[in-house]
Amino acid sequence: MFALFGQSREWHCFHRETAVHFAQAPLIQAVVKRKIDIVVPVRNEQDNIPVFIDAVNGLKLPGSVSIGIIFVEDGSTDGTLDVLRHAAETAGNVSFYSLEEGFGEGPAVVFGMSRSHADAVVTMEVGGGHPVESVPEMISRHLDGADIVQAVRRSIRSRPLYRSVGTAVFNAVFRLLAGFDTKGQNVYYRLLSRKYKDSMVESRECVTSLRFRLPDSSICRVDKVYFDAEDRTRGKSKYGFVRLARLSLDFMLSVMPASRLCIIIVLTLVLISILALFVNIPLSLVVAFGMLWIVVRRRKLWHNNILSRMSSKEQHVA
């Protein structure tokens, strides 16, 4: 009995000492990674993609952040797809989707966002107009509590005169038609938390323009970071004057509120009547046809769920 009692006391002391040992040992906590995807639309960017990947993977980021890169290839005619295949095989954080047909930069960006399940996404271009060096600051702002971090381009060097003039005209007309200023989001280079990323994917009017009315500060923290850039520092721009004009019109129509469209229709009808009565009927018919085209185009942009028609012919998910 005494022997058993002695063994029991020794067993109790062992457990007590073990408990004290574990209580004094440092706590080991699992580090939960914050996943952030960078979504990049690409078309004929075979030379820029490797440079971009190296720049992203060379960034100094907090250890709690895991970076993924999602490329959305949209109608390339060079070796872009081959470069993406190689990158996906050699870099563990690279995914890509090659679309069945060319849909344009805006839809490609939103398609890529719809494929991301990360805590946040950064949307940007690959050609150098959106400097990779701004990504760490955007992520830092997000980790500090920002829901949206919008990059704002302060200046752009080496830009053709027609594009500078066109941008100024576009900003003025956009503000008149859409009801908000684009100076605070003159590029689609931004970080979105998952909540606002999902909201943008579901919003059809943002698919074309990639512009939206920034949420009120009382319900969403919006930070801004600023950068200076050169016009297309790597590669050649794919946007000529005609394509830029067409895209600009689609941008404005896609975000135009119905109330402003109604006002424009009424004012145009008055103008058509004046032209028909006091100038000439053919000119009034031209204006009427233009107004009808705008109404039809606006309806198509708002009711065309382009994401439902988009699919990838090839993909690799990291």
Within-domain flag for 68: yes
Within-domain flag for 247: no
Task: Tokens for 311, please give them.
Answer: 């699919």
Provide the residue range defining the domain that includes 287.
254-303
Mean pLDDT (the chain, rounded): 83
Within-domain flag for 18: no
Within-domain flag for 1: no
Q: What is the pLDDT of residue 241?
A: 60
Q: Which of 4-13, 88-97, 161-170, 281-290 is the least confident region?
A: 4-13
- Rounded mean pLDDT of 199-203? 86
Q: What is the pLDDT of residue 232?
A: 56
- Answer whether residue 117 shows pLDDT above 50: yes
Within-domain flag for 194: yes
pTM (predicted TM-score)? 0.77
Nearest to 252 by CA among 179, 203, 199, 190: 179
- Residue 229's DSSP bridge partners are 156
Q: Where are the alpha helices (DSSP H) in 1-158?
A: 2-24, 48-57, 80-90, 105-114, 135-143
Note whether 213 and 296 are same-domain residues.
no
Q: Which of 98-102, 175-179, 271-275 is the least confident region?
A: 175-179
- Answer whether residue 135 shows pLDDT above 70: yes
Within-domain flag for 26: no
Task: Tokens for 158, please give them.
Answer: 């080496």
Q: Report the number of distinct structural domains present in the chain.
A: 2
Within-domain flag for 187: yes
Note whether 38 and 96 are same-domain residues.
yes
Positions of E strands within 86-221: 94-99, 120-123, 148-157, 190-193
Structure confidence at residue 123 as a pLDDT band (50, 70, 90): very high
pLDDT digits 0-9 by tens, 220-269: 999 999 998 866 555 555 555 666 677 777 777 877 788 888 888 999 99
Note whether 152 and 129 are same-domain residues.
yes
Note whether 102 and 138 are same-domain residues.
yes
CATH (domain of 137): 3.90.550.10
Note whether 259 and 234 are same-domain residues.
no
Note whether 98 and 226 are same-domain residues.
yes
pLDDT digits 0-9 by tens, 41-79: 999 999 999 999 999 999 999 999 999 999 999 989 999
Within-domain flag for 143: yes
* Chain mean position to CA 111: 10
Note whether 81 and 227 are same-domain residues.
yes
Note whether 312 and 297 are same-domain residues.
no
Note whether 194 and 273 are same-domain residues.
no
Note whether 148 and 280 are same-domain residues.
no
Q: Is 75 left (phi over 0), alpha (psi -120 to 50) or beta?
A: left
Note whether 65 and 111 are same-domain residues.
yes
- Rounded mean pLDDT of 35-43? 96
Note whether 190 and 76 are same-domain residues.
yes
